[in-house]
Structure 1
Amino acid sequence: MMEGRTLRQWIGYTIKRDLFNERGVVLIPAKTIIDNHHVEMIENHRISLSVHDFELDKQELAPRESKTNDKLVVKAMEEVKSMFHFLSEKGTLPVEEINQSIIPAIHQAAEYPSLQSVMSGLQAKDDYTYRHNIGVGVISTLIGKWLHLSESELALLTMAATLHDIGKIHISDYILNKPGRYTDEEYAVMKKHTVIGYDLLCQIPGLDARVPLVALQHHEREDGGGYPYRLKAHEIDFFSKIVGVADIFHAMTSKRVYKDASPFHLVIKQMLDDGFGKLEPSICKLFIHRLMEMAVGDEAILTDGRRCQIVGMNPLDVANPLIRVDGKYVDLSKSRELHILALVG
């Protein structure tokens, strides 16, 4: 199975390529640092490897959950909160300050290597309205990187994503924080945040025109079922489509005063379903696949309450990965009852 040395001697080294099982499911993604669990998987699946499959510089193994972006997100959230208040009082925004402080912090928050470490600080624990703006900024930045946007395009996307909900500064707290369903009148008021945000941002000197456009369009949908203007696919700016995906994902995975976060497996399923009609399919598919690749190695809670580790992504059923639980490997795509409830740190 190995040439020249035992497999366990490669613990701590980085694998160069994706390792697949006989069904074509990715068991261990490229760039993974090999540990004891990976060795067991490789042996169980009888995967042949050679020295050429590893990067020769050994890495220090450390628990992936030991580092999260919580402090970065809290700092950025406080700056966004101050910025929103500044706009409310002064009618303008310090664009250069945003570019020098908030945008780099969001880019840094998107650099963490695992899904749990990225999402940790984004799960709304307080001040959902402000944390949501940072969450959508970080997730949109990840998507932009995966789409290989240029440095200038990525900075612009991050700016637009972070300011996408700025129109909510003129929506009452009663409506923003209302538990339960809106009345038709309340929902009509809530939807105005898109037009309000557009009008506010159009007045800011030095702001690229795509930033207010994203504030206006991030609730538009490919099938024309969105708001405020029921635009269809070809009429919606590409950045607005990215932010629309990030907006839905962060909202569904966040706990609020009146609403628990949706179960993780249902979020993934909903996002995949929305990729057929509501959301741009290429963005949605890329986002979910790369997201689940990031989740490999993370710990999670199952729907039966047990704790597990995600050890491989199934490209044919991304919502149901291969896991390790109670010392055994379980393919969730073969289970109708067992699913991922939540990621844990």
Structure 2
Amino acid sequence: MRLIAINSLQPGMKLGKKIYNEDGIVLLSENAEINDAIIRRLRHHGLDYIYIADHRTDDIQISEMIEETTRRRALNELRVNFKKLMEPAMKGVAYPYLGKTFSGLVESIVDDLSSREDAMIMMMNIDSMDHYLYRHSLNVCLYTLLLGQVYGYSKEDLTLLGLGAMLHDIGKTKVPRDVLNKPSQLTDEEFAQIKQHTEIGFKLLKDEPGIPLKAAHCAYQHHERINGGGYPRGLKGDEIHEFARWIAITDAFDAMTTHRVYRPAMLPHQALEVLYAGCGEWYEKSKLELFRDHMAIYPVGMTVDLSTGERGVVAKIHKAIPHRPVVRVLTDPDGVDLKSPYDIDLSNRLSVVITGVDGTKEAIK
């Protein structure tokens, strides 16, 4: 199984993993044969990459950050509960189900992540057509919890951190849909409406039973920046809660690596470069370095070009040096398929580097 850009799909290829629609229902099953109509449909729904079956890569293991059952449960809870919040509510109405529902869910995610010793931050926006808000909320929760585990937070703090991360964008349930999903540039007035989601989220969460105030502050502060250039209050440095400073990084990363109506998704190496442009100004250097060291910059299964002119698939990631993976070489420098593909370990072949990634026009710097 390998990962391929939608623009590189060819009729006759077979799907490697299930694809789900916005309601969590299987849209396409494994081994479904790809045709032109399916390619158009996938492109229409905003998918940039999918897994395809390839006998040359059958032994490559694509590990998930959490169990598929946990992931589907989380997306379903986000979908059901956020849709309730999107409905008009009477003034003063509370949402007492939020704390109970999401605290238990976060604990399950913490348990899943704890059972994976070598877990790394992986691209999660591949095989699902779920609404952006639901996927984004789960992904930010996963990425932030993994960083929190590596950082050494207790299980109690991890549950708080995960709850704040999962609900950080809950205020967007009260932003008009036509503004939130606008495919063109926002007006100043529309952008001001979007920015209100931080304060709305805080107000939704701060008095909820089972929602600690720290989690509410994650919704309030995740767009603050350490140089004071964020919103809504222009907080600086340690004025911003530590949990919100983690979420600022994971929120930005997931937003950049997710397809949106107004732009295609970036790949991890591209998003990391953008994040580092804000190092020391928007994001803490130490937190950004920890994020970098635990991110799969070239996801397992991704098609890559090598400086030798050959092309292959990332077969394994070295946790200590994720930017120097093992690559399964599939074609020679002339683009001819090899009769006997072979693995090259870039961690000990320092003269060979990755120069390009499938789906991007730019070369790797």
TM over 0.5: same fold? Answer: yes
| Match in the other structure for 2:149 | 145
> Which whole-Å deviations, capped at 9, do the CAs of 1:64-111 have from their partners, x for residues lacking one?
2166744422221110222223445453132123222x2134325545
Question: Conserved in 2, the CA contact under 8 Å of 1:275 and 1:281?
Answer: yes
Answering whether residue 268 of structure 2 is matched by residue 264 of structure 1, we say: yes
| Match in the other structure for 1:309 | 314
Q: Distance in 2 between matches of 1:262 and 1:166?
A: 24
**Judging changes above 3 Å, is the alpha-carbon distance between structure 1 residues 265 and 297 closer, same or farther for their aligned structure 2 residues?**
closer
User: How far is the alpha carbon of 1:319 from its aligned partner?
Assistant: 8.0
| Match in the other structure for 1:15 | none
Q: Distance in 1 between matches of 2:323 and 2:163?
A: 33
> Which whole-Å deviations, capped at 9, do the CAs of 1:308-340 have from their partners, x for residues lacking one?
22656697xx78435423434557987898134
| Match in the other structure for 2:110 | 107
Instruction: Give the SS at the match of 1:302.
Output: strand
User: How far is the alpha carbon of 1:197 from its aligned partner?
Assistant: 0.7
Answering whether residue 65 of structure 2 is matched by residue 65 of structure 1, we say: no
| Match in the other structure for 1:40 | none
Residue type of the alignment partner of 1:237: H
The TM-score, its normalising length taken from structure 1, stands at 0.69
Instruction: Give the SS at the match of 1:291.
Output: coil
Mind listing any 5+ residue stretches in structure 2 that lack a counterpart?
Answer: 1-58, 331-341, 360-365
User: How far is the alpha carbon of 1:189 from its aligned partner?
Assistant: 0.7
Q: Distance in 1 between matches of 2:171 and 2:299?
A: 38
Question: Conserved in 2, the CA contact under 8 Å of 1:219 and 1:228?
Answer: yes
Instruction: Give the SS at the match of 1:267.
Output: helix
Instruction: Give the SS at the match of 1:309.
Output: strand
Matches within 5 A, 1:240-319: 240-292=244-296, 298-302=300-304, 306-309=311-314
Answering whether residue 141 of structure 2 is matched by residue 129 of structure 1, we say: no
> Kindly, what percent of the aligned residue pairs are identical?
28
User: How far is the alpha carbon of 1:134 from its aligned partner?
Assistant: 0.8
Question: Conserved in 1, the CA contact under 8 Å of 2:75 and 2:135?
Answer: yes
Q: Distance in 2 between matches of 1:123 and 1:254?
A: 12
Question: Conserved in 2, the CA contact under 8 Å of 1:140 and 1:161?
Answer: yes
Alignment partner of 1:186 out of 177, 182, 190: 190
Aligned length: 277
Q: Distance in 1 between matches of 2:156 and 2:167?
A: 17
> Which whole-Å deviations, capped at 9, do the CAs of 1:171-192 have from their partners, x for residues lacking one?
0111111113211111111000
Question: Conserved in 1, the CA contact under 8 Å of 2:298 and 2:322?
Answer: no
Residue type of the alignment partner of 1:81: R
Q: Distance in 2 between matches of 1:296 and 1:84?
A: 32
Greater CA drift, 207-216 or 332-341: 332-341
Runs of 4+ in structure 1 deviating by more than 6 angstroms, as ranges, are: 331-337
Answering whether residue 356 of structure 2 is matched by residue 339 of structure 1, we say: yes
The TM-score, its normalising length taken from structure 2, stands at 0.66
User: How far is the alpha carbon of 1:160 from its aligned partner?
Assistant: 0.6
Question: Conserved in 2, the CA contact under 8 Å of 1:299 and 1:307?
Answer: no
Instruction: Give the SS at the match of 2:186.
Output: coil
User: How far is the alpha carbon of 1:148 from its aligned partner?
Assistant: 0.5
Residue type of the alignment partner of 1:76: A
Higher helix share: 1
| Match in the other structure for 1:92 | 95
**Judging changes above 3 Å, is the alpha-carbon distance between structure 1 residues 234 and 124 closer, same or farther for their aligned structure 2 residues?**
farther
